[in-house]
Amino acid sequence: MMSAAEKHPARYNDWLGVVQFLITVFVIAIFVITFVVQAFQIPSESMENTLLIGDYLLVDKLRFGGDDFWRHVMPYQPVRRGDIIVFHYPVHPGEHFVKRVVGVPGDRLRLINRELYVNGVAQREPYVRYSATAHDAFRDDFPRLNIVVPGLEGTWWEQMKKLVEDGQLIVPEDHYFVLGDNRDESLDSRYWGFVPRENIVGRPLVIYWSVRNDDLDISEERTSGEKLFHFAHALTHLFQITRWDRTFRIVH
């Protein structure tokens, strides 16, 4: 008895070609997601106005070399001051944070009345936003070793004491100091410490979609019914809720 492939060779070859194509696309997609880019959603206001809640990013995972294998086979860029990075939060590595690097290994940092100084030189930071009117001695005049504030990690508090010299914080080897652009509303290195080199995932490359946050609020605090309602609303009002002026914007 003849098999299906023998009876209909053209049809069989067509289906085989489709299956091969789908497998190829799947393998490429897995490769890209694993090694090249990763999707990331902005969860907080800490990087406003550079990045907003509701921005959806593609993160370039090869920019800084990725893992040890890729660092040896592909050219990569060192992490520099001013780079925005996505990284595993050192306190809870399962979480991803996005901040701006302001200090690289060997730098001496301090904030004086909100103004950032690196190696004694005041920095020009046109992207920084200040939202608070009241002065906060720990946040605005960092580092301060005589003040303990809510949210300050105890291990970082002890480590910081060993790294402050002449009122400046010294960034150790293979570590980076990061701050949010929304300087008054950011849980950053001031409160939990440095970002180790191995924690860095990559840099935001492009905002591929941006949506007004209130229109796509399906957070864990909402009930299943509320999540479904907001998701359905988003799908039926996609054009209206999209921030088109931010969509496909390159991140700087």
Q: Residues with catalytic annotation?
A: 46, 99
Q: Which residues pair with 206 in a beta bridge?
A: 58, 250
The CA distance from 144 to 138, in Å, is 6
> How far is Cα 94 from Cα 58, in angstroms, rounded to an integer?
19
Residue with the two structure tokens 């085989």:
16
Helix (H, G, I), strand (E, B) or coil at 241: helix
What is the amino acid identity at position 215? D
Rounded-to-10 torsion of CA 42, 45, 47, 51: 50
CB of 111 closer than 8 Å to CB of 217: no
* Residue 97 backbone phi and psi in degrees, to 5: -115, 160
- Residue found under tokens 């936003």: 129
